[in-house]
Amino acid sequence: MLEGKTVILGVTGSIAAYKAVDIASQLSRAGVKVDVVMTEKATRFVSPLSFRAITGRSVTADMFDASSELNVTHIALARAADVVAIAPATANVIAKLATGIADDVLCCMVLATNAPVVIAPAMDANMYENPVTQENVSRLKKRGFVFVGPKFGKLVSGVEGLGRFANTVEIIGVISQVLGRGGSFADRHIVVTAGGTQEFIDPVRVITNRSSGKMGYALAEAARDRGAKVTLITGPTLLTRPVGVEAIDVCTAEEMLQAVRSAISGADVLVMAAAVADYRPRTKAKEKIKKEGAGLTLELERTPDILGEVKGDFIRVGFAAESENLVENATRKLRRKNLDLIVANDITAKGSGFGVDSNRVTIIGKDGKAESLPLLHKKEVADKVLDKVAKLLTERYKER
């Protein structure tokens, strides 16, 4: 979604300006053309040279720079932008944008652009909560500016409050989401499950598995970046919830089933990437079980088969974590669970499966055709899976 796009990164005079270097760096690494526009005060916090070195592109800090290669700099930048992101944005710049003051290159460029504008404020909590700033923020929101943060936390002044700059992942997440608007999944609702479920033995012990949630989260983000409305039903994980996605936390297979049931009504696609426990203790001990005997026997019972239980008119995608006979076993699951697609996950391959960033999968369709993919980053796997889902959606809507 980001590759080949032009992001104009506006940097203003906040102590958080140095964090914009990381944003520029991560966007550049994702293949984005990042043109940085700085206010004069921002240059007091970070040198334009830092951004130039990171992006490999010229940095604009002066409206009247005679050496600029651009013809009328602010207009050229305004036209080139796929999205403008002002991060960090001070109260001053927010006020100027809200009232149309155009006394520097950044504000002129924003006034001249038709591209969507993302704003990540960073300031003292009292400044942010001041009714004047609040009025300016809501005026900009009404005009379609997209805000990310600020967050509650410790501020430079030492006090805690609402004013902290959002983190790089969140800001890039919102930029991706804005770029994805009107994408191939616009108006589609996709429900994704991720992570492992936990089944309680007693109040402190659980039966679970090694799923980190990375595969499911990558799918949720990739669907969001294609413009979909995404509901992510997630087992306990250490991952940060993706921005622009409705995340529902669950713990047990039963809770995941209930969450899928209520999210799926009216949805177009269900992707079950979660590693759902197949068995749970028949009873959960009320108190922590004491170490008494030399051993302990637990009686287990089956958990509900979520894919088996949830019925409806939506595209059904399952995953199959297999350690042997990958394609045969996965195809059997595809038929048994009446799926449109199954992603057979080779969990024996190095760098593939649980916990890692990459995955090696074979995608099998209802017609039995299998496409084996090499070891890829989970983000790339997510895109390959969604390419297939996109085809199924096109066929389905052609028929209607």
Q: Which stretch, 39-47, 111-119, 172-180, 271-279, contacts ligand PMT (CB under 6 A)?
A: 271-279
Cβ closest to ligand PMT, residue 82 vs residue 278: 278
Which one among 252, 303, 331, 362 touches ligand PMT, defined by CB under 6 A? Answer: 303
Q: Name the segment binding ligand PMT (CB under 6 A); options: 22-30, 32-40, 57-65, 300-308.
A: 300-308
Query: In this chain, which of 108, 117, 306, 334 binds ligand PMT, going by CB under 6 A?
Result: 306
R_g of the chain computed on alpha carbons: 24
Cis amide bond preceding 121, omega within 30: no
* Residues of this chain, 250-269, that bind ligand PMT according to CB under 6 A: 253
| Distance, CA of 320 to CA of 322 (rounded, Å) | 6
Q: Should residue 12 be labelled a site residue for ligand PMT when binding is judged by CB under 6 A?
A: no
Q: How far is the CB of 244 from ligand PMT (least distance, A)?
A: 20
User: Parallel, antiparallel, or unpaired: how do β-strands 33-38 and 83-89 relate?
Assistant: unpaired
Smallest separation, CB 316 to ligand PMT (Å): 9
| Shortest CB 307 distance to ligand PMT, Å | 4
Interaction of residue 314 with ligand PMT, rule CB under 6 A? no
Give 282's contacts (C-beta < 8 A, 6+ positions apart).
Answer: 299, 300, 301
Per rule CB under 6 A, is residue 232 in the interface with ligand PMT?
A: no
Q: Which is nearer to ligand PMT, 76 or 356 (CB)?
A: 356
- Out of 108, 190, 274, 363, the only residue in the binding site for ligand PMT (CB under 6 A) is 274
17: exposed, middle or buried (Cβ count in 10 Å: 0-12, 13-18, 19+): buried
Minimum distance from residue 261 beta carbon to ligand PMT (Å): 12
Catalytic residues: 209
Q: How many residues bind ligand PMT (CB under 6 A)?
A: 26
Site for ligand PMT in 325-364 (CB under 6 A): 333, 345, 353-355
For residue 183, the minimal CB distance to ligand PMT (Å) is 24
In the bound state with ligand PMT, the residue whose beta carbon lies nearer, of 36 and 267, is 267
Per rule CB under 6 A, is residue 121 in the interface with ligand PMT?
no
Is residue 324 within the footprint of ligand PMT (CB under 6 A)? no
Would the CA dihedral through 54, 55, 56, 59 be positive or negative?
negative
Binding-site member from 13, 150, 242, 318 for ligand PMT (CB under 6 A): 318
Shortest distance in whole angstroms from residue 390 CB to ligand PMT: 19
Q: Residue 108 or residue 306: which is nearer to ligand PMT going by CB?
A: 306
Contact 197, 234 (CB under 8 A): no
Buried b or exposed e, range 312-322, using 16+ CB within 10 angstroms:
eebbbbbbbbb
Nearest distance from residue 238's CB to ligand PMT, in Å? 11
43 touches 68 (CB < 8 A): no
The answer to whether residue 8 forms part of the interface with ligand PMT (CB under 6 A) is: no
| Binding to ligand PMT, residues 163-222 (CB under 6 A) | 195, 211-215
Query: For ligand PMT, which is the closer residue by CB, 249 or 305?
Result: 305
CA–CA gap between residue 400 and residue 238 (Å, rounded): 41
Which chain residues interact with ligand PMT by CB under 6 A? Answer: 195, 211-215, 253, 272-276, 278, 303, 305-307, 318-321, 333, 345, 353-355
